[in-house]
Amino acid sequence: MAFGQYEDESTALFFTDHPDESFSGWMAELCPKDPYYGSKPDWKPLLAQTFEQLNVYDEMILYYLLFTINSTLSINSHNTYSEMNDLMKKYSFLQLSHLHEITCLDDEQKEKLRDFFFFFYLYAHPVNEETLHACSFHTQHLIHTRTSIPLEDYFATYYDFYTTHRDNYVEQIVISAEEIQACKTLTLELLHAVEGRSPKLLLPSVKGLEPVIQLINDVDGMLKLYKDDPVAFCQIIRDLLTDVMRDVAFETNAGANTNTDNTANANTETIRVVAEGTSDNSRSYREYCLTVLLQNYASYILFFDFNDIRVFINAFQDTPKECRFIISKMFTDTIFLQKMIRQQKIDLNKYPEVTQFFNEEAKQGYL
């Protein structure tokens, strides 16, 4: 398989021998009949012989779950809404792979975060209400709650069925039996990451971002640094923030010159490249790392004590422009803090030192 882009710049994993067929989409023609549409269903699930407790409603939910897990390797950038959902889903996927190795949190804290991240992993797909609440963790295994069927067993059986009976579905299945088994292997790897049964996923390090990447890849190290020396922790963010805000300023200036003559455009681009000394991808990666680190601060620190936001404000309030940028970014890149604030019944009116730094988007979402 290899990654490829659609015309709208969304990305998917495609089969090299079938360039029009994707890892998440190859099974679209195999979608079960909708039991909610039309008369009362009078058929049995495809895998009823193996899973006798399964009904057609469960089958539909499990199909949605399989598609959701496979789509982890797709990038949807249709609009601002889909981009935020994509960010939240992949962030949650990353953190689910980290939780089992964290030692600074006790089991109860890790379970609360696991439920929180898994909720958003599904919610941001998005899935319907039934699918959102269809599964639960049993130790480090996800099960379909109503039937107690482990997702790993169901997905493996699903792939094996279509591998064995592929010749009966030649109108619906383009890929080979070998490729179906490759999909099975990849799906189960993704599932194990969600369940915390595989080595944690790591962001690749690049020159100049080593301290930031280290904190992202080692949550224990981040929590220890914040506890022992919050000033040093905030300084790492401040250093990264300086680069990100510079990137934003150059992008804004470049955009302001789009209607000037070709010479001006060329000069703007030359100035931007020389000043940055790096590529668009590097700038994007810097901003992504800032986003992840800020969401880690929200998820692993504010999740358990929202009052710690005052420590953060104290560290940045001497530079109001930067503080406004970073606080608004933390609150608006995802809706994680919205969920936390509602769950914990936090009154933001009691935090004027925070809300004074909200931009218009943050004000609309929280005040």
CB neighbours (10 Å) of residue 191? 23
- The pLDDT assigned to 37 comes to 87
Give pTM, 2 decimals: 0.90
In 3D space, the residue among 142, 151, 145, 138 whose CA is nearest the CA of residue 47 turns out to be 151
Confidence of residue 276 (pLDDT cuts 50, 70, 90): very low
Backbone torsions φ then ψ of 303, nearest 5 degrees: -55, -35
pLDDT higher than threshold 90 for residue 286? yes
- The pLDDT assigned to 250 comes to 53
Average pLDDT, the chain: 91
DSSP annotation of 367 reads -
- The pLDDT assigned to 262 comes to 44
The average pLDDT across 244-255 equals: 66
> Using CA atoms, how far apart are residues 68 and 62, in angstroms rounded to an integer?
10
Three-state SS at 204:
coil
Cβ neighbours for 310, distance < 8 A, ≥ 6 positions apart: 351, 353, 354
Angle 42-126-52 from CA coordinates, rounded to 5°:
30
Three-state SS at 165:
coil
Three-state SS at 36:
coil
pLDDT digits (tens, 9 = 90+) for 172-204: 999 999 999 999 999 999 999 999 999 999 999
> Using CA atoms, how far apart are residues 170 and 175, in angstroms rounded to an integer?
9
The least confident of 6-10, 65-69, 133-137, 312-316 is 6-10
CB–CB of 141/152 below 8 Å? Answer: yes
Choose between 256 and 302: higher pLDDT: 302
- The pLDDT assigned to 253 comes to 57
